[in-house]
Amino acid sequence: MSATLPVNGQPGKPMFLSSSNNSASKEIRLSTGVEGLDDILDGGLPKGHLYLVEGDPGTGKTTLALQFLLEGVERGEGGMYITLSESRSELEQVGASHGWSLRSITIYEMIPSDEDLSSDTQYTVFYPSDVELADTMTAILKQVEEINPQRVVFDSLSEFRMLARDPLKYRRQILALKRYFAGRNCTVLLLDDRTAEGDTNDLQLQSIAHGVIKMQSLERDFGIKRRRMEVHKLRGSHFREGFHDYTIKTGGLAIYPRLIASEHKPGFSRTPISSGLPELDELFCGGIDSGTSTLLIGPAGCGKSTIALRYAISSAQRGEKAIILTFDEAIATLIERGRGLGMDPTELLQSGMLEIQQIDPAELSPGEFVSRIRRLVDEQDLQMVVIDSMNGFLNAMPHEQFLAMQLHELLAYLGQQGISTLLTLAQHGFIGITNSPIDVSYLADTVLLFRYFERAGSIRQALSVVKKRSGPHERTIRELIFSEGGIQVGLPLHQFEGVLSGNPTFTGSKTQEDSSDPRN
């Protein structure tokens, strides 16, 4: 692309612009001090611009601003925190709660003194905003001239709005600040707690700022709040769009960038994964495949978690690291149940080839859960991940319609790493018609269906493969038997019809019935 710049009113020489040579590609980016946010911003905030950080009270704006300034101190850059609402002691308390010392940051308070509150200091001729705003800005700029910081934070803009009163005056003041700090090559964060009435001022401010970061706090009926943030705007720069979950912990903000599976595409060789039960592997015509996801679906108590544990133990016994993330069952109960079925995982847990983690859905956001799995994949040579169960994952989501999208990215990511994923999902109901709390069967590559059925006056279990994208599978129904000796998968139930409905009809002879029972 070419453009011609006039010189003294005359046409000039053509100037060629390219994406590789433009100024945006050469911009210096400043780390925000928050690893996840730097990832979202593709390295950090472009230097020398004014940015708006907006969110309701309690969303972590002050914590983010302090991390931004402290990161600058670590890099030898001076930082200045200009507060019009919080006192120095309040800011120091925030820093102390995270284990930070704010001595290296200049904190400039613009809070009225006790003398300013007396009746003798009230203006009678001029409008208070005309005098107070001018005095405030003069005092602030004087401090900036003396300290010459490279990073500045204004907290909060609500005070500026009240001082300016008039929207036009407020906009002009923010524009003046933007030009002033741009001339000093200083990076500025403006914190806005959104307490102003109406959205007019917010939109005006967003149009002025070089970038806008929105922070939200979503209430849930039970458990912790779900906090998420979005980079709403960043002029001339690439960033990761969408909402990203974050938490406020001791040590600052922990932001979990939204997972984009298409960014992770390493190659791997697809191989069959054995369960350690030959009859079950026959249902899959050799076993489930590596790099695929398998959904184990059926009523509560029908053996989904047990079969998932069988796969994880078999993987660990082959020297392939497996991890079980359990939402519903206590770790001690899971281990004891495995021992009762001849699958004692103690040695594998001690060796590190098998790992079990308890997940509390009331204390965990979906973004943090996905980030935890990504960290495990990065730090360990994982071959199998078991999520038990999807019902617990669903409870961690405040909006059901987003679960499928979040799960799709996670399964695609794990599949591209060559990791086999097993998910369990409990359906409502036991015999007859059963319903799922959410339909995620279309996301899984393979679906193993569990059912209860009645036979000879006793309740029994059956399983069948109803879907396998990566290859052929048996279309038979086999009985699943749990005993002290372990897990058994019987021969195909050819002599029965209606097993999946829970009320089978025997169509063979008595001899055939006896021979088809694995317990005989």
Q: How does DSSP assign 448-467, residue by residue?
A: EEEEEEEETTEEEEEEEEEE
Last residue of a domain, one of 223, 258, 293: 258
- Whether the CB-CB separation of 397 and 228 falls below 8 Å is answered with no
Distance CA 243, CA 231 (A): 8
Q: Are residues 134 and 115 in the same domain?
A: yes
Distance between CA 314 and CA 277 in Å, rounded? 9
Cα distance between residue 63 and residue 98, in whole Å: 9
Shared domain check, 379 and 342? yes
- 375 pLDDT higher than 80: yes
Residues 57 and 193 in one domain: yes
pLDDT digit string (tens) for 201-233? 567 788 899 999 999 998 877 777 889 999 999
Exposure string of 440-450, with b = 16+ CB inside 10 Å and e = fewer, is: beebbbbbbbb
Handedness of CA 38, 41, 43, 49 (dihedral sign): negative
Torsions phi, psi of 387, nearest 5? Answer: -110, 110
Which candidate, 270, 311, 317, 316, places its Cα nearest to that of 294? 311
Task: Tell me the percentage of the chain whose pLDDT exceeds 90.
Answer: 54
Report CA-CA distances (Å) from 110 to 79, 159, 164, 285. Answer: 17, 10, 15, 74
Specify the number of domains making up the chain. Answer: 2
pLDDT tens per residue across span 252-275? 999 999 998 878 777 778 899 999
CATH of the domain at 139: 3.40.50.300
The verdict on 237 and 337 lying in the same domain is no
Q: Round to the nearest angstrom and report the end-to-end CA distance of the chain.
A: 82
Strand partners of residue 505: 497
Same-domain status, 271 and 254: no
Q: What is the pLDDT of residues 390-415, one digit of tens each?
A: 887 776 665 555 677 888 899 999 99
Identify whether residues 225 and 332 lie together within a single domain: no
Output b/e per residue, 160-181; b: 16+ Cβ within 10 A: bbbbbeeeebbbebbeebbeeb
Give the mean pLDDT of 197-201: 50
Q: Do 63 and 74 form a contact (C-beta atoms < 8 A)?
A: no
Q: Residue 272 belongs to what domain range?
A: 262-476
Kindly indicate the confidence band of residue 18, based on its pLDDT and cuts at 50, 70 and 90: very low
